[in-house]
Structure 1
């Protein structure tokens, strides 16, 4: 009897995929949240990637970049604090991913969202 092809689920949009990646980080215990906790994780060398919510204040983002920008990449997300509240159960503007592989996953999802440009695109 031939195999029947199961209908494929539609691929989630890039923002939903990023949200799912952050949720996975949280469930794995590899997501640090809040300015002070993220800064401490970066200084101790535990953070691989720092992410900021799209509605984080410019002052907060600049302070984070000044504090840890030379240690870890600080990247904006297309998600707001309200959208991310379901992940962490409160509104948080700054996140750090403390696992290398999960950080790569989040980085790839940010690339899919168009936040990160490829080096080839930047050189033109």
Structure 2
């Protein structure tokens, strides 16, 4: 598998596991020193990252609707809607970097105003 294929497969596993709330599987694609930065906060390392994703999944997220993924080498951009019980779908982009088959960096951006208005 080349780098782009590895990146695509790793990021697909990340989203499948997060959407399915399979946090043990999610943990298998995160590098020990993974860094996460997003609108709702930051996390350093696997434990903090999984805790943050678990928190999103259990507090506001009811589903994710994936629309597009662009992968080039070690970078993947995934465009999706974050689905909640109390807001319209929230358009979101996730930029992940994959090195040696593990996600080392995640950047997420979306407009948080619908979440703060409820």
Q: Give the TM-score normalised by structure 1.
A: 0.28
Larger Rg over CA atoms? 1
- The structure that is strand-richer by fraction is 2
- The structure that is helix-richer by fraction is 1
